């Protein structure tokens, strides 16, 4: 399917309301810039030497490798949150680590704090020294049908 490891990435998050939980999820994907693609949920590795981009124009319908946290709810008034974090190693020949976290009843700050700790722990377990951690989160208070979404999308330059 893919010939080589992706060499660019973007980190995005959004929340949304929709006609149904699936529609809310779809709107959150659209707001994040990945909604008109076919997401290939991947395990959580950032390829070595991958460069961050503020946004990436993804071809409609393409298969896009994405690590993501997503949560939906139809419980009115419920707070939902999703977050992702990327731990980038100091040694650029090594891979980075992406962690995802979502939960009910927590703020986006709580979700982001948790996912950062997860990324730190994973890098420490690997024995990789961390250069930096990037993170993003989204929260939503459900009106009818809601979604919170956070992702790291990988692509090729």
Q: Which of 38, 49, 55, 124 is catalytic?
A: 38
How far apart (Å, rounded) are the C-alpha atoms in residues 137 and 11? Answer: 10
For residue 138, indicate whether it is catalytic.
no
Q: Which of 15, 44, 81, 95 is catalytic?
A: 44
For residue 157, indicate whether it is catalytic.
no
Which of helix, strand or coil describes residue 55? coil
- Find tokens 């999308």 and name the residue: 153
State the DSSP code for 154: E
Q: Which of 3, 4, 43, 157 is catalytic?
A: 43
For residue 38, indicate whether it is catalytic.
yes
For residue 20, indicate whether it is catalytic.
no
Q: Which of 32, 81, 95, 100 is catalytic?
A: 100
| Residues designated as active site | 38, 43-44, 100
């Amino acid at each position: 399917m893919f010939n080589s490891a992706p060499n660019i990435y973007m980190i995005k998050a959004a929340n949304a309301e929709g006609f149904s939980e699936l529609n809310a999820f779809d709107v959150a994907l659209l707001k994040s810039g990945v909604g008109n693609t076919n997401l290939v949920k991947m395990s959580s590795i950032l390829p070595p030497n991958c460069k961050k981009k503020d946004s990436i124009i993804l071809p409609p319908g393409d298969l896009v490798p994405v690590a993501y946290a997503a949560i939906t709810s139809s419980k009115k008034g419920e707070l939902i949150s999703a977050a992702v974090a990327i731990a980038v190693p100091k040694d650029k020949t090594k891979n980075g680590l992406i962690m995802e976290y979502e939960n009910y009843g927590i703020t986006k700050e709580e979700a982001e704090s948790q996912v950062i700790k997860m990324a730190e722990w994973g890098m420490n377990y690997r024995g990789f020294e961390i250069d930096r951690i990037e993170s993003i989160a989204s929260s939503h208070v459900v009106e009818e049908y809601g979604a919170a979404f956070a992702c790291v999308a990988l692509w090729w330059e």
